Amino acid sequence: MGTLTVGQLSEAELLKVINAELADAQGSVDSFDVLVGSGDDCAVLTTSDGRYCVSTDVLVQGHHFRTSWSSAEQIGARAAAQNLADIAAMGAHPSAVVVGLAMPATTPLPWLEGFTRGLGSTCAQAGAQVVGGDLSAGQNICVSVCVHGDLRGRDPVLRSGAKPGDVLVHAGKLGHSAAGLELLQRCPDFGSVRQREDMERIFWRMDGHTRISQELLSSAFECLTAFRAPQCPLEYGPLLAQCGAHAMMDVSDSLLRDATRIAKASAVAIDIDDPLETDAFTGDVAALRPLAKFLGDFSLVRKWILSGGEDHGLLATLAAADQPKLKGHPQARPIGRILPADGLEAGTVLVAGQPPNLPLGWDHFGN
């Protein structure tokens, strides 16, 4: 008897499977913002001050992910993470998530179970509940996630508040997801990697059966993991808001493109430090260097950091006088400064005072 597929079950039976997986994945998470959860026509939410943030993202098979590159659990985790990052970027706390999922009838039932586990556990780690959604049959897998967040009495941090003289701060990783994607594009065999040992065997075959350094294995596995299921430092969103952030957003499309969005919205210019010449980027450079060396092009490190997206770190600006408030929070590092647009076009982004001469990053229709 073969593996059961979703097309062999009714919608009611599939919902039972989903709810059972969510119950296991989310454990005792009980958001105080949720009055009525899954099971009715709508969920009912409350907020502490009458305001909440709402964001949605869509992931399409073959465009955002491939089932040959990522496990179902990783795809679920990624779908949750990139939405939760949007809430954190407003300075809010994630509270409730609604999910729409379309998939072919031939989709194996274990794939649906794994996807639900990945999504549910990632939401639970952020303190958010999955409170409902919708199922549909479709030619390809398509995921739509809508997340709600509570500001808990604080004003939202918008993209439009950056001020000349502000420090540009980033919390999280840069370039790792882009490096993982490039590794998969150059060698799709890495899509089969589930453990570090799997990666070692593939490198061994590729590199003429020579010994592979631990630095390369660590670099490649870390980047592959970052692409499949990014880890956003969600707690830094409310933290940066409390520290007085003037503007903030998550880095989804690239550091250059998203800095440009802040600069345009705020009518300022931004100067980012050169990643290869600044201590703030040391951790990213050290993690990316071995993989770039293996691929034969060290310039990839700079490209991945500046033009790579989907790490979903948080990019913020705050007054220089408020920067000491970040002491003891090492993931938030200063990486540049906000300039007046005098003599420059509003929205200009420089790197070490010069045009970056790199692609801006991902554009869903322009790429």
pLDDT band at 31 (very low <50, low <70, confident <90, very high): low
Listed in sequence order, the DSSP H helices in 207-345 are: 214-228, 236-242, 255-266, 282-294, 299-307
DSSP of 81-109: HHHHHHHHHTT-EEEEEEEEEEE-TTSBH
| pLDDT for the residue numbered 367 | 55
- Answer whether residue 3 is part of any domain: no
Average pLDDT score over residue span 246-252: 98
Specify the number of domains making up the chain: 2
| pLDDT for the residue numbered 58 | 96
Which of 150, 168, 190 terminates a domain? The answer is 150
Kindly state whether residues 122 and 183 are assigned to the same domain: no
Range of 201's domain?
157-367
Kindly state whether residues 105 and 178 are assigned to the same domain: no
Identify the three-state secondary structure at position 260: helix
Give the CA distances from residue 278 to residues 175, 201, 302, 334, 352, in Å, rounded to whole numbers and listed in that order: 15, 35, 12, 10, 10
pLDDT band at 70 (very low <50, low <70, confident <90, very high): very high
CA proximity to 326, closest of 315, 336, 334, 337? 334
On the question of pLDDT at 363 being above 80, the answer is: no
- The CATH number of the domain holding residue 163 is 3.90.650.10
- Answer whether residue 2 is part of any domain: no
- The CATH number of the domain holding residue 134 is 3.30.1330.10
| pLDDT for the residue numbered 29 | 65
Binding residues for ATP: 133-134, 159, 252
pLDDT band at 286 (very low <50, low <70, confident <90, very high): very high
DSSP of 31-59: -TTEEE-BTBSS-EE--SSS-EEEEEEEE
- Answer whether residue 336 is part of any domain: yes
CA 176 to chain centre: 11
Q: Are 37 and 129 in contact (CB under 8 A)?
A: yes
On the question of pLDDT at 32 being above 80, the answer is: no
On the question of pLDDT at 24 being above 80, the answer is: yes
Q: How far apart are CA 154 and CA 342, in angstroms?
A: 32
Binding residues for substrate: 64, 310, 362
On the question of pLDDT at 360 being above 90, the answer is: no
On the question of pLDDT at 364 being above 70, the answer is: no
CA proximity to 6, closest of 108, 113, 138, 134? 108
Kindly state whether residues 223 and 127 are assigned to the same domain: no
Kindly state whether residues 145 and 178 are assigned to the same domain: no
Kindly state whether residues 123 and 197 are assigned to the same domain: no
Binding residues: 41, 55-57, 64, 86, 133-134, 159, 250, 252-253, 310, 362
Average pLDDT score over residue span 81-103: 97
Over the chain, what is the mean pLDDT? 93
* 52 strand-pairing partners: 150
Which one-letter DSSP state was computed for residue 38? Answer: B
Kindly state whether residues 140 and 204 are assigned to the same domain: no
Average pLDDT score over residue span 158-176: 98
On the question of pLDDT at 30 being above 80, the answer is: no
pLDDT band at 236 (very low <50, low <70, confident <90, very high): very high
- Answer whether residue 128 is part of any domain: yes
Q: Which amino acid is at 337?
A: R
Which of 124, 150, 176 terminates a domain? The answer is 150
Binding residues for Mg(2+): 41, 55-57, 86, 134, 250, 253
| pLDDT for the residue numbered 151 | 93
Of the chain, the percentage scoring pLDDT greater than 90 comes to: 83
Which of 117, 150, 183 terminates a domain? The answer is 150
Kindly state whether residues 232 and 132 are assigned to the same domain: no
